[in-house]
Homo-oligomer: A and B are copies of this chain.
Amino acid sequence: MYNNTFGHLLRLTTFGESHGIAIGGVIDGFPANIVIDYQFIQRELDRRKPGQSKITTARKESDKVEFLSGIFEGKTTGCPIGFEIRNTNQHSSDYEEMRHRYRPSHADYTYTQKYGFRDHRGGGRSSARETACRVVGGAIAKLALKQLGIKITAYTSQVGALKLNKSYKELDFEHIEQEATRCPDPTMAPKMESLISEIKEKGDTIGGVISCVIAHCPIGLGQPIFGRLGAQLAQAMLSINAAKGFDYGEGFSGLEMLGSEQKDCFENRDGKIRTQTNHSGGIQGGISNGEDIYFRVAFKPIATLLMEQKTVDINGNETSITARGRHDPCVLPRAVPIVEAMAAMTILDNYLLDKASRL
């Protein structure tokens, strides 16, 4: 779990810049003998790719993944799975202005300070294009989770001030993919879509919240103390571009409730020990308890505005910059599969870690 590698036993290492030759990665520690469903993996990538609807960027990227190793006659071999996605639709000239100027609230300045210089084209390594590799890793992880009966579903639950005040249990998850916003609520979704369109027209951007539910997670996952399952999910989610907050269970929302109102009493339900309520969000003492795990991720409005902004150049002279490029007014719809991917890798990693905790 360091630098460009995510995970402990299941590990994804990614590489690649927005306007370089290719992005890609290596998935290591993945179990052998899992059948690879290439169409499923591509569908997951398609959920993340730009140009899906009127409210996402018009940028076209085919995002075709090529697997280079680790799969033999359709099944994983236990050896590392190398893959790449060639970059094909780069308009690097859109970014020439960025070579000598720092875009506000982007990584331009901090990368330059840390590394001495940077690949300025399209944000280079700091571009969210990198997350396509996470979606590949997550899709592969989902193939294993499916065999374990674990299901992960994310959806848009807030855009700006428009907040869906419903429990995930009241929602029809089948409806998520039918909405450009990936908000499954048929009343809220069109409102969110209108708001995003409006913001887009102004060249502005807007943030929001993605909610995620992990159903049928086995009991016992998580490394109590520093690797509490909630802590691992927090780290996974906050590693996504533009993510600024995370909570699970009642989180920030339940602070007005007392301990007596948030307790999850145990009961014997049909011979199984279950909690009557699930304020804890499926994790107790850092370990999954078999109930649904649910959490929220806050995303800021992304910083690429199609309007003039004050800034400085690399010599410290004050100047201004206007993004050209093709950008999303709201990252939430495309971030939904990324949240799922990070959750999928975290859960599979912890499933393997848990196996190794017994003789």
Contact = CB atoms under 8 A, between A and B. Distances in A.
Contacts of A228: 238-239
Contacts of A247: 244-247, 252, 298
Interface in A48-81: 66-70, 72, 75, 77-81
Nearest to A310: B265
A285 B34 CA distance: 23
Contacts of A20: 68-69, 72
Interface stretch (A36-44, A185-193, A266-274, A333-341): A266-274
B317 A268 contact: yes
Given A32-B116, A267-B312, A252 B298 contact: yes
A353 interface: yes
Q: How large is the interface on A (under 10, 10 to 19, 20 to 34, 35 or more residues)?
A: 35 or more
Contact of A26 (B13, B252, B287): B13
Contact of A117 (B25, B75, B263, B303): B75
A151 interface: no
Given A110-B284, A161-B255, A246 B248 contact: no
B23 A4 contact: no
A354 interface: yes
A78 B317 contact: no
A153 interface: no
Contact of A359 (B11, B79, B148, B288): B148
A266 B310 contact: yes
A345 B303 CA distance: 30
Number of copies: 4
A5 B11 contact: yes
Nearest to A126: B285
Given A82-B24, A245-B246, A271-B316, A2 B13 contact: no
Nearest to A264: B105
Contact of A263 (B1, B287, B303): B303
A227 B239 contact: yes
A219 B113 CA distance: 7
Given A33-B359, A78-B116, A352-B357, 9 more contacts: A14-B80, A20-B68, A20-B72, A32-B115, A72-B124, A104-B263, A144-B359, A266-B312, A276-B310
A309 interface: yes
A313 B226 CA distance: 28
A301 B279 CA distance: 11
A17 interface: yes
Contacts of A351: 359
Interface in A232-258: 232-239, 243-252, 254-258
B239 A245 contact: no
Given A82-B16, A353-B356, A356-B353, A109 B273 contact: yes
Contact of A80 (B13, B234, B286, B353): B13
